[in-house]
Structure 1
Amino acid sequence: MLIIQLSDSHLKADPAGVYRDVEVEARLISMLAVVAGYQPDLIVVSGDVSDDGSLASYQRAAGHLDALGCRWVWLPGNHDHPATMAEVRALEPIIHLAGWQILLLNSWVEGEEGGRLGRQQLAHLDAQLAGEASPALLVLHHPPVSVEADWMNEIGLEDREAFWAGPGRSDHLQAVLCGHIHHEMTCLHQGVPVMSVPAIAAQFVPESQEFAVDSHAPGGFRLIHLGVDDAGQPRLSTRVEYVPVQQPG
């Protein structure tokens, strides 16, 4: 089974809208043209679909994704408006595919750039991991780990310690996917791989202690191959594919 993760398209109500020198709608269309060649079983968009939370931006994003003819889901980032997203496409909390459970969390907090899962959502996550033995892939917008940039950690996942304190993280959770940081990152936390993906829109400079953008850096998407072997053991392999940026004009 092939899942493709996309993130941080930052579409605007205006189809010609620009985010940090990148024409985001054209960027999304060109990215999806490459994605289509892989014929994924599922596309997961891990937040900041919109930059302004407008209904028009979600409608156009959904139209572009629908045109691929495969199943897709999305979850909100800090720039999104979850209620408006749900008017266009429901926010699904869990998907079962090929012997795996794919858990989609909502780290959006109204009026804040940082994220939080909250006690209720963490309790539901704990119950799900304790109640189902199938391998789990978890997706959220804000990274549940510290990154090598102080400014980003200030707007990261506020309750990341509570997230990792829950039962079953090492037993059933095979990997965590996130967005928000606008570049590729992979680390291991409590034995669990945590991976981000490049943005569809402009990229942030990795390990910069102050906010910095590299609008010439290529965007990309993550390919995740999931399976279960004959002995019932989960199998996961992944890589990022980069797609060059086309500058305005």
Structure 2
Amino acid sequence: MPHPSPSQAPVYVVQLTDPHLFADPAGTLLGLKTRDSLRHVIAQVRREQPRIDLLLCTGDLSQDGSVASYQAFRALTSEFAAPARWLPGNHDEAKVMAVVAPELVQAVTDIGQWRVVMLNSAVPGATHGQLEQDQLQLLNEALQSAGERHCLVCCHHQPVDIGCAWIAPIGLRNGAELLQRLKGYPQVKALLWGHIHQEWDELRDGVRLLATPSTCIQFAARSEDFRVSEEQPGYRWLRLHPDGRVETGVERARDFEVRLDFDSPGY
């Protein structure tokens, strides 16, 4: 059976988010070694995703903002031949990321019939997110110049209420403004983020709203106070079709045994 032409084939995307690596290879969150869990997720991706056209890494790549942590993340993900794009989260140091991997922090990537826009929602010294004017302008220009391409927009912080009271104050403060802007661009098919360490999938005003489990510890869904889940770490796959359809799902590293130590330093 003939293979589809490049213009007919979907773009195969994998999202990794919130690995929280340390300079110390043995660094842990709640007793979980974050490099070990990332390795297991990467192995799961390699087993399940024979083709990857783009790897999206949506923030909190590091827990301590160190050069060594970003070098480790880059080395671990170099197993994938696909190009990667990074954006910062609230634990990251954007300037350090840009030194370690300047070619991976590009804001706009055109691939197939799609344009991917990576927005920096991190606020230096804060946990919550905010899209500053330069990022909103970048978004406007990227969408206005997209032509006939469909668009996937990415950031770190959640722009909507996910039913976790404790995490609401540390979400994207101008999330409503972002969603309102996207309503003016029907070519935007999906908005993708990390930060919440759990899965989210909602269709709102024609835009697929998606969040993805962390590659390390997981936050419990619908929790009033900070609470973690013992679910395995995971990743998201996406198929971005030439006609604008988005297929997607979350997979978890089923062979990784989650053992948390609640007496150790936490998140």
Please tell me the TM-score bracket, short chain as reference.
over 0.9
1:209/1:167 CA distance change after superposition, 3 Å: closer
1:155/1:55 CA distance change after superposition, 3 Å: same
Deviations 1:38-89 (A, max 9, x none): 1311111110000111110000110111122221121100000000111111
Equivalent residue number for residue 19 of structure 1? 29
Matched, 1:246 2:257: yes
Letter in 2 for 1:100: W
Provide TM-score, normalisation by structure 2: 0.87
Equivalent residue number for residue 130 of structure 2? 116
Equivalent residue number for residue 6 of structure 2? none
Distance 2:196 2:259 in 1: 23
> SS of the residue aligned with 1:145?
coil
Deviations 1:78-101 (A, max 9, x none): 000000111111211011111100
- Percent identity between the aligned chains? 32
Distance 1:25 1:167 in 2: 35
Equivalent residue number for residue 7 of structure 2? none
Distance 1:171 1:207 in 2: 31
Matched, 1:125 2:139: yes
> SS of the residue aligned with 1:237?
strand
Unaligned ranges ≥5, structure 1: none
> SS of the residue aligned with 1:96?
strand
Equivalent residue number for residue 78 of structure 1? 90
Unaligned ranges ≥5, structure 2: 1-10, 261-267
Equivalent residue number for residue 96 of structure 1? 110
Equivalent residue number for residue 135 of structure 1? 150
Give yes or no for contact 1:6–1:199 (8 Å, CA) kept in 2. Answer: yes
Count, aligned residues: 244
Give yes or no for contact 2:182–2:188 (8 Å, CA) kept in 1. Answer: no
Equivalent residue number for residue 74 of structure 2? 62
1:201/1:157 CA distance change after superposition, 3 Å: same
Matched, 1:48 2:60: yes
Using the TM superposition, give the Cα deviation of residue 226 of structure 1 relative to its aligned residue in structure 2, in angstroms.
Answer: 1.1
Equivalent residue number for residue 186 of structure 1? 201
Distance 2:217 2:205 in 1: 31
Letter in 2 for 1:180: H
Which is strand-richer, 1 or 2? 1
